[in-house]
Structure 1
Amino acid sequence: MRTKGSIVCIGGVNVDRKARLLVPFELGTSHPVVSTQTAGGVARNIAENIGRLGQNVALLSVVGGDHDGQWLIDATSPYVDTRMVTRIPEANTGAYTAVLDERGEMVLALADMAIYDTVRNEWLKQRWLKFGPISAVVLDTNFPTDVISWVIEQCRQDRLPLCVVTVSVPKVKRLPTVLSGVTWLVTNQAEAMALAGKRRLDDAIESLFRLGVENIVITRGAEGVVYATRKGERGAIAAPVVKVADATGAGDAFAAGFLYGVLNGHMVEDACRLGISNAALTLQTAETVNPALTEQRLRAAYEQYFHEGGES
């Protein structure tokens, strides 16, 4: 099943470097680790997931003129149209370095993302006009506030479905105070409450609706997902218990599976189940994006977790 136009993903393209501890973490001492390097970045990860799920997808981002930048383009191109990824010779490609504990959970993450602060509205406008038909837009919060605001307003004017995926608590502050035009907001609990300025999740959801968001999906790690829509649909879905190899990229996999669902006619609740299924597949691999992901694999996981002895 393919969408008619391209799904355009706008945001981060990074090198992910991960060091997984072989012993429990202790401050002030060295630890033996196993190190890996993978292609990452929220927008890039979502784009690759979507591409592996058989959808037409394009990526709009920036990388440096270094070896890492070309490596990322080469790694992403088999699944994603990367012609709108611009190389900036004087900049370093974005880098994300994570230290994971022996269970695969994050202990510490370091982000070198200065390249995204060089992005300006004019650069984005020039490339926007070069896209053909667009079926939906995915926007992460790596770019500066004015760029993020321009994309949201452009999608509102063009009546394009827009999914905003938050990146971190600090970067959630880059979102404008008016979010009319955001069809789906995919965020985690801490980021949702930071954006809304509330301490209770229910209050945060109501506040986000007042800002203009149409549908809100809040991920809560092992506790699953909470969703709410302007039409009054609300619920919580538990996550299946899986053996975690590496938690990196699971949130991006959820967003991609969710989008795959809503763009192919599923209601928000069922799209959340597809997102959870895709996140579970990613949790069980050491890669940021599951290298074996296909539509068939996702559908099989969905059946396994939510129909074969799971939810009815």
Structure 2
Amino acid sequence: MRQAASIVCIGGANVDRKARLLTPFRLGTSHPVATTQTAGGVARNIAENLGRLAQPVSLVSTVGDDRDGQWLIDVTSRYVDSRHIVRTSKANTGTYTAVLDERGEMVLALADMVIYDTVGKEWMKQRWPELGPISAVVLDTNFSSNAIQWTIEQCRRERLPLCVVTVSVPKVKRLPADLSGVTWLITNEAEAKALAEDDGRSVSEAMEALVRLGVENVVVTRGANGVAYATKQGETGAIAAPKVEATDATGAGDAFAAGFLYGVLGGHTVEDACRFGMSSASLTLQTAETVHSALNEHLLQAAYARYFREGGTK
């Protein structure tokens, strides 16, 4: 029986620890908090969201040869093909520690990602032949510059649909100057402007600059201000965000990316795929979880209908 082609997610798999403040934040003093631990990492989160949406998906990442690493593999394997998660004794499993205010917005985040320095071009080249048939690739910016550049070039050579999802402003600098071969770039406003190398640009100017660098479709998430997009064909647009009561913003961007991919790989336009992304992000925003534990296709379709069809945001 021929193996089904899968969406291959490449990048971070971390342990996320969240400390939510129970009183308003003040510098220079201790705070009472409620702490939780969840599986995280941009590529890993996107992969789990896609798996929960019944998409065949696999994850290429690395974790430490430690208890955190085994726990991450066990949790991820429920929804994702985890055979390509490589364990290493060279570093600890990546950790991301977020401090959230009493409204669930991030005050501070601390990332121990030394483990990704062990991933270079040769590491990627070694993994690639093992991946089997690929329907699309999702690449975050956690790995080294040469691993990222090699993956983009390989997708371009093989004409594979590629979605690049940025992780942070410093890590956008790991992307090459030539972004030809990037089918979809999902980024936030600050990261888009950093990648366009001009903080003073408007979002539309930054998107135009990114299209000139070779990206076919740019999608910029703007939190409560919604989403903007631009395509190589000259289409541009902005969509207002559904009004929801946010519990915790962590993971909402990854949920957006998964919902967007669910839409665009399912044959929807970029504009409509953005609506699926925003529906997915809205569901996650309303939970304290990094990945919504009840997410499935039915829930996403229902959210899409509620927010964008039944008199919701147009």
User: TM-score normalized by structure 1?
Assistant: 0.98
Q: Which residue of 1 aligns with 2:282?
A: 280
Q: Which residue of 2 aligns with 1:74?
A: 74
Are 2:167 and 1:156 aligned?
Answer: no
Q: Which residue of 1 aligns with 2:131?
A: 131
Deviations 1:88-143 (A, max 9, x none): 02310000000000000000000000000111222211211011110000000000
SS of 1:205's partner is: helix
CA contact (8 A) 2:241 2:313 kept: no
- Displacement of 1:202 in angstroms is 2.2
- For 1:235 and 1:279, the matched residues in 2 are separated by 19
Q: Which residue of 2 aligns with 1:255?
A: 257
2:192 counterpart letter in structure 1: A
Structure 2, unpaired ranges of 5+:
none
Q: Which residue of 1 aligns with 2:220?
A: 218
Which of 295, 307, 310 is matched with 1:308 structurally?
310
- For 1:177 and 1:294, the matched residues in 2 are separated by 37
- Displacement of 1:4 in angstroms is 5.2
SS of 1:8's partner is: strand
- For 1:270 and 1:205, the matched residues in 2 are separated by 18
- For 1:241 and 1:303, the matched residues in 2 are separated by 14
Q: How does 1:30-69 map to 2 (within 5 A)?
A: 30-69=30-69
Are 2:244 and 1:245 aligned?
Answer: no
- Displacement of 1:245 in angstroms is 1.1
SS of 2:303's partner is: helix
Q: Which residue of 1 aligns with 2:205?
A: 203
2:31 counterpart letter in structure 1: H
1:204 counterpart letter in structure 2: A
- For 1:182 and 1:90, the matched residues in 2 are separated by 31
Q: What root-mean-square deviation, in Å, do the aligned CA atoms of Structure 1 and Structure 2 show? A: 1.0
- For 1:204 and 1:35, the matched residues in 2 are separated by 37
- For 2:167 and 2:313, the matched residues in 1 are separated by 30
- For 2:234 and 2:122, the matched residues in 1 are separated by 39
Q: Which residue of 2 aligns with 1:182?
A: 182
SS of 1:217's partner is: strand
Structure 1, unpaired ranges of 5+:
none
- For 2:88 and 2:183, the matched residues in 1 are separated by 32
Deviations 1:246-295 (A, max 9, x none): 10000000000000100000000000000000000000111100000000
2:175 counterpart letter in structure 1: L
- Displacement of 1:220 in angstroms is 0.3
- For 1:232 and 1:203, the matched residues in 2 are separated by 13
After alignment, is 198-207 or 51-60 more displaced?
198-207
Q: Which residue of 1 aligns with 2:88?
A: 88
SS of 1:48's partner is: helix
User: TM-score normalized by structure 2?
Assistant: 0.97
Q: Which 4+ residue blocks in structure 1 deviate beyond 2 angstroms?
A: none
Deviations 1:131-182 (A, max 9, x none): 1110000000000000000000000000000000000000000000000000
SS of 2:84's partner is: strand
2:220 counterpart letter in structure 1: I
- For 1:311 and 1:193, the matched residues in 2 are separated by 26
2:129 counterpart letter in structure 1: L
- For 2:306 and 2:164, the matched residues in 1 are separated by 29
- For 1:310 and 1:242, the matched residues in 2 are separated by 11
CA contact (8 A) 2:90 2:115 kept: no
- For 2:240 and 2:37, the matched residues in 1 are separated by 31
- For 1:231 and 1:60, the matched residues in 2 are separated by 32
Q: Which residue of 1 aligns with 2:165?
A: 165
Deviations 1:200-240 (A, max 9, x none): 22221121111100000000001100011111211100111
